[in-house]
Amino acid sequence: LHMHTSAESANKFFPIELLPNESGGKAGPIRELHEQNMKKLEANRDFFLEDERTMRVDESLRVGKSKTATDIFGVEGSFKKLDID
């Protein structure tokens, strides 16, 4: 993930023309781009539904212990201040 503060730095990674008009590009208005993408998603609705139905991970094949949020992020809860004399 790259954060850019100028069009010049972003242009090193992708053509600025690909951005919406509101961001200095030439791809079209954001509203129009949104509508086009929504139409593409709707046109491929059956694909996504089938993918959701059939493409599942078999967790029983996973090597090692399953990781929970506690395993990943540590212990949750409240901690009291410990005063040392």
Domain that holds residue 49: 29-56
46 falls within a domain: yes
Task: Check: pTM over 0.85? Answer yes or no.
Answer: no
Whether residue 74 is predicted with pLDDT greater than 70 in this model: the reply is: yes
11 domain-assigned? no
Q: How many domains are contained in the chain?
A: 1
| C-alpha span between 50 and 71 (Å, rounded) | 33
Residue 64 has a CB neighbour count (10 Å cut-off) of 5
* pLDDT tens per residue, range 9-42: 889 999 999 999 998 899 999 999 999 999 999 9
Q: What whole-number percentage of the chain has pLDDT above 70?
A: 93
Indicate the length of the chain as a whole number: 85
Decide if 39 is inside a domain. yes
Highest mean pLDDT among 17-26, 37-46, 52-61, 74-83: 37-46
The stretches of the chain forming alpha helices (DSSP H) are 7-10, 30-43, 45-54, 69-73
